[in-house]
Amino acid sequence: MTLARIERKPTPTPSPTPPPIHAISPVRSNSVPTTAPVVVPQPAGKAAHKETIKHLGANRVKPPKTLNTKPIWDTVAPTPGQGAGAGKGAGAGSLGEGTQGSGTGSTGTGAGGGGAPCGAVDFSARGPAVYNAKTGFFERSNVTAIVHYADGSSESVPLDWTWRFKTEEFDPFNPSSSAPMFFQFPPVAQRASEPPAVQYIMQNSKAYGGTKLNADCPNIPPPPTAHP
């Protein structure tokens, strides 16, 4: 027969003793968080487009004089036929009278400067011309005409057709351009329907765009300068 004995044994002590476990608390602060201000960039200021006013020129720019001022019949040797014709009195007289009679100016039979009607025309436009790649021109559709009449009254009328310039240097409204101010006629199809002020400009403008008006009148103001 087998016998079993029950014995009491002491509880084993762990070695080494583990450290006590402490709860980790979050760090708190009484300070109020601050954020950097957001700076929104402001657009830089830009000046408004200036309105340029140009006075319509009276005459086309004259070509420079050449050194040889003799008539062509004095410098070119005539052929026998020309010499015989010029030797006759009738031929020579008709040649001289024709030259004097068809000349322009106060001494000829043409219209002189003193006989021009009294008045003036100015044109204004804002901003630069816009280049049109289809036409190859710098274009303006914002030209306004200011008509000064002989009695001192004036009238302003916006022009309803496009003005075209080959380059910016040919644009008289360009501040850096020294081009003369010439009137550009409206398309032929709409000329009859233009208002009276435009009709007045067309009647008193030459084919190349110069004016036939005499601006040196007491009631006509001097040409204005550009203003913003």
Q: What is the mean pLDDT of residues 71-96?
A: 45
* pLDDT of res. 166: 97
Q: What is the mean pLDDT of residues 25-39?
A: 54
Is the pLDDT confidence value at 75 over 50? no
CB 122 within 8 A of CB 146: yes
Residue 23 falls within a domain, yes or no?
no
What residues form DSSP beta bridges with 155? 147
CB 118 within 8 A of CB 220: yes
Is the pLDDT confidence value at 6 over 70? no
* Total structural domains within the chain: 1
Calculate the dihedral angle through the C-alpha atoms of 156, 157, 162, 168, rounding to the nearest 10 degrees: 0
Residue 228 falls within a domain, yes or no?
no
Residue 67 falls within a domain, yes or no?
no
The CA distance from 128 to 5, in Å, is 119
Residue 180 falls within a domain, yes or no?
yes
Is the pLDDT confidence value at 187 over 50? yes
The CA distance from 117 to 149, in Å, is 9
Lowest mean pLDDT, pick from 51-60, 84-93, 208-217: 84-93
Calculate the dihedral angle through the C-alpha atoms of 83, 88, 93, 99, rounding to the nearest 10 degrees: -20
What residues form DSSP beta bridges with 125? 52
Compare 11 and 75 and report the one with higher pLDDT: 11
The CA distance from 97 to 66, in Å, is 24
Residue 68 falls within a domain, yes or no?
no
Number of Cβ atoms within 10 Å of the Cβ of 219: 14
For the question of whether the overall pTM of this predicted structure is more than 0.75, the answer is: no
HSE value, Cβ hemisphere, 13 Å, CA-based, for 138: 13
The CA distance from 20 to 224, in Å, is 98
Q: CA torsion sign, 25 to 27 to 33 to 35?
A: negative
Which residue range forms the structural domain that includes residue 190? 51-58+116-203
Tokens matching residue 158: 């916006």
Q: What is the mean pLDDT of residues 16-29?
A: 53
Residue 216 falls within a domain, yes or no?
no
Residue 37 falls within a domain, yes or no?
no
Q: What is the mean pLDDT of residues 99-110?
A: 40
Q: What is the mean pLDDT of residues 46-69?
A: 56
* pLDDT of res. 54: 83
The CA distance from 109 to 158, in Å, is 37
Tens of pLDDT, residue by residue over 127-167, are 999 999 999 999 999 999 999 999 999 999 999 999 999 99
Residue 101 falls within a domain, yes or no?
no
